């Protein structure tokens, strides 16, 4: 997918129709084990504007935060209280990279 060539209506429609073989964001799998089923295309083939229009976050941290909110039914307080310490997203669930010094709170790091 090169530049944004789809109308807003088309983008909204494609977002809802990932099982439609005409959707430009899916393709027939080239892997035999997938038996010709549709798979998502590599997002690097989609224009940045189309990705934003499809609702994707611009940064991994925002994406993780959005996924955590989705996991908790949209509740910010439930994300804050999450106890799934072994979840790969847990340390980033507040939308900050705690491994960067500026994001640290209440520690001597
Ligand atoms: S860290 Fe918690 S809220 Fe975020 S995805 Fe994992 S389980 Fe869900």
- Where do the domains of the chain lie? 8-53, 60-103
Residue 46 Cα to ligand 1 middle (Å): 28
The per-residue pLDDT for 55 is 86
Alpha-helix residue ranges (DSSP H) falling in the chain = 8-16, 48-53, 60-71, 76-80
CB-CB contact of 25 with 1 (8 Å): yes
Q: Which atom of ligand 1 is nearest to the CA of 92?
A: 1
26 three-class SS: strand
Residue environment code for 43-71, b if the CB has 16+ CB neighbours within 10 A, otherwise e: eeebeeebbebeeeeeeebeebbebbbeb
Q: What is the pLDDT of residue 21?
A: 74
pLDDT per residue, tens digit, the chain (109 aa), is 444 566 777 766 666 676 777 888 899 999 999 998 999 999 999 999 989 988 899 999 999 999 999 999 999 999 999 999 999 999 999 999 999 876 666 665 5
The reported pLDDT for the residue numbered 108 is 57
Number of helical H runs and strand E runs in the chain: 4, 2
Instruction: For residue 86, report the distance from its CA to the centre of ligand 1, in Å.
Output: 9
pLDDT at 16: 63
Q: Residue 40 and residue 80: Cα distance in Å, rounded?
A: 31
* Predicted pLDDT at 20: 74
**Model pTM score:** 0.74
């Amino acid at each position: 997918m090169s530049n944004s060539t789809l109308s807003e209506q088309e983008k909204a429609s494609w977002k809802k129709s990932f099982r439609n073989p005409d959707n430009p964001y899916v393709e027939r799998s080239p892997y035999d084990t997938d038996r010709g089923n549709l798979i998502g295309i590599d997002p690097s083939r989609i224009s940045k504007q189309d990705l934003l229009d499809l609702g994707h976050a611009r940064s991994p941290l925002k994406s993780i935060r959005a996924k955590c909110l989705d996991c908790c039914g949209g509740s910010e307080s439930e994300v804050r209280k999450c106890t799934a310490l072994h979840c790969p997203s847990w340390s980033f669930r507040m939308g900050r990279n705690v491994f960067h010094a500026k994001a640290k709170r209440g520690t001597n790091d």
